[in-house]
Amino acid sequence: RWRRYDRKRLSFRERHCPSVSERKECLVPPPEGYKIPLQWPESRDQCWYR
């Protein structure tokens, strides 16, 4: 994929969104113990404690 980007100023090293066909390969699993953030307006009245 890096060949698509210009080598000037190292833009090929920057993070780019993958094409639709490669998106599933790009996903990183969440760390152990990760919680999905609370949605608004629920998050207005609640917070997490460790």
Nearest partner of 3 among 13, 19, 17, judged by Cα: 13
pTM for the model stands at 0.32
Per-residue pLDDT of 14-36, as tens digits, reads 566 667 776 666 667 788 888 88
Average pLDDT of 39-47? 78
Task: State how far Cα 46 lies from the chain centre.
Answer: 25
Q: Is-contact 26 18, C-beta < 8 A?
A: yes
